Amino acid sequence: MESVLPFLRDISNEEIAFEQPTADNREELLNYMCDEFGQDEPLIQSLAATREEIAPLLLSWINVALSQSYTYVVRTKQNGKLIGCALNGVGSVQEVCALNEHAMSEKALKVMKIMNEVKQPLLRIGRDRKCMEIIALSVANGYHGRGIGKALVSLSLDLARKSGCRMVASEATAFGSQKIFSYFHFETLYEIMLNEYLEDGKVVFPVKAGTTKSALLACKSLN
């Protein structure tokens, strides 16, 4: 995919391959999301959530992504190892904002709750607008800073345009993903400051310094 070349640094398309996964990749994606995304995502890390506690939430995202054909993964060509993904889903704004009501652990429910809260302002834009949601954007440790995340977002935006989407939105919780969305001129429609997000007077997500300060709704209109 030559369109990703401008974004890659210190790594070439001779070393990695971008592709769209199928249902056969479900277990591989779940292992990646638990081992990489789950170890890197600030909200999950702040709760010290175990694989057992967070896997059902991650699997629910994967199931949405694999039920359609809008997701991208990236893997090394040498050994086929998965090193990144953009889990995407497409639907009306109302469908994107529908509450996730899967049975989950208490910690997973906390993550799900704030993610649902931060994207509700999308409904003010138009319930019936076709929207791509970047459900999760992740690059494996050891591959950060090489433009892979930007390449995944670029591919997702191209596919959203070709699919007739009016907008692309994502709930971004880490400084890294927030910077990538800003690079592509996503607007921040809503933001929850984590030090003000309380439950019984206590901060719900005591995130590590330097990882994030907020959960925000990033949105880009496609004309």
Query: pLDDT below 50 — which residues of the chain?
Result: none
Residue pLDDT, tens place only, 49-81: 999 999 999 999 999 999 999 999 999 999 999
Q: Where are the beta strands (DSSP E) in 44-129?
A: 72-76, 82-92
How far does CA 76 lie from the centroid of its chain? 20
- Residues 2-221: name the CATH superfamily: Gcn5-related N-acetyltransferase (GNAT) (3.40.630.30)
Structure tokens at 167: 């907008």
pLDDT at 1: 66
Give me the residue spans of the domains in the chain: 2-221
pLDDT digits (tens, 9 = 90+) for 79-112: 999 999 999 999 999 999 987 767 799 999 999 9
**217 beta partners:** 171, 190
Among all chains, which residue has been given the structure tokens 């009501």? 101
Which among 199, 205, 204, 156 is positioned nearest to 177, based on CA atoms?
Answer: 156
Residue labelled with tokens 């330097």: 210
Give the residue from 173, 181, 168, 184 showing the smallest Cα distance to 216.
Answer: 173
The backbone torsions φ and ψ at residue 139, rounded to the nearest 5 degrees and listed phi first, read: -130, 135
